Amino acid sequence: MVICPRCSYEWQTRSTADMICCPSCQRKFSRPSPVVEVLMEKVPLDTTCDVCGGQNVELNLCRIDGEAAYVCEGCLTSRGAIIPR
Ligand SMILES: [Zn+2]
Ligand SMILES: [Zn+2]
């Protein structure tokens, strides 16, 4: 989900370009960092981090921009996710 900083229009975009254009006011702005939601912490799974590909790490089940992903602790921190306690 993207929110236009000018007109606050909210829409879903699949674009991965750095610059996106608001369909409402046509303003171009840089893409905000993805929204990371942590669904479950430190899931004991035999899989790799979807962000860095790291193995043998404790993975957190997350939703990044609405898509499920396994993210290691390091990537989570660098993405600035807020972990609910
Ligand atoms: Zn706009
Ligand atoms: Zn990682």
Domain spans of the chain? 1-32, 36-78
Evaluate whether 35 touches 1 at the Cβ level (below 8 Å).
yes
Q: pLDDT confidence of 22, banded at 50, 70, 90?
A: very high
Q: How far, in Å, is the centroid of ligand 2 from the Cα of 24?
A: 35
In this prediction, residue 26 carries a pLDDT of 95
In this prediction, residue 79 carries a pLDDT of 58
Ligand nearest to the CA of 36: 2
Evaluate whether 63 touches 39 at the Cβ level (below 8 Å).
yes
Given a cut of 60, whether residue 9 has pLDDT beyond it is yes
Considering the chain, what is the average pLDDT of its residues? Answer: 82
Ligand nearest to the CA of 8: 1
Q: How far, in Å, is the centroid of ligand 1 from the Cα of 30?
A: 12
Ligand nearest to the CA of 77: 2
Ligand nearest to the CA of 54: 2
In this prediction, residue 7 carries a pLDDT of 96
Evaluate whether 62 touches 69 at the Cβ level (below 8 Å).
yes
What pTM was estimated for this model as a whole? Answer: 0.56
